[in-house]
Amino acid sequence: MYEGPIQDLIEELGRLPGVGPKSAQRIAFHLLTVERADAERLSGAITAVKERVRFCVRCYNVSEHEECRICRDARRDPAVVCVVQEPRDVLAIERTSEFRGLYHVLGGAISPIDGVGPEKLRIKELMARLGAEGITEIVLATNPNIEGEATASYLGRALKAVSSPEQPLRISRIASGLPVGGDLEYADEVTLGRAFAGRAEV
């Protein structure tokens, strides 16, 4: 155990996802040795993110404005919406250049073990967008793991229930090509691009 500010810093760094006690200690001592200007730049970037970045009012992607740059882009197809778990998944899909519609970020996946049910995700907001925006296709691009599959299955049933002959809704799921148990953010562009191009009807 260290004393004072260095121990406080180690403890705060240890709260970050994927940062264990040893990593937190290494980062803390690295920050202790860097130039003051470098440390202040990091501090300023963290402060700026907390002050200026918010969630898009339409799709819940991260944005500095009311609507994110994708929702504001008139060249995108507003009738096709890709549903993802987290904002970082939007970036992963955008890197493939295969999708030209809009997005909807759920803010997680159904996980009973972690106490996350459908009511804790932005599913109601997605349903509200269907009629309001004239959406004709939903692409389910949740992660290919147990939680992601459970979420896609739940959404598939819920979306089919609101589809009608008068207002048909095409519901598709991104195709295989991604490793089961993997995360979209770590997939390479070619694998993710093929999975997107070969998405299948739900």
Average pLDDT in the 115-130 region?
A: 95
Which residue, chain included where needed, has tokens 């739940």?
Answer: 154
Question: Which pLDDT does position 81 carry in this prediction?
Answer: 98
Q: Which of 191, 199, 202 is nearest to 96 (CA)?
A: 191
Average pLDDT in the 131-146 region?
A: 92
Q: What is the largest CA-CA distance in the chain?
A: 68
pTM for the structure as a whole: 0.79
Q: What is the mean pLDDT of the chain?
A: 91
Residues 102 and 117: beta-carbon distance below 8 Å: no
Tell whether the model's pLDDT for residue 188 goes beyond 90. Answer: no
- Per DSSP, the three-state class of 77 is strand
Element (H, E) at 32: helix 21-33
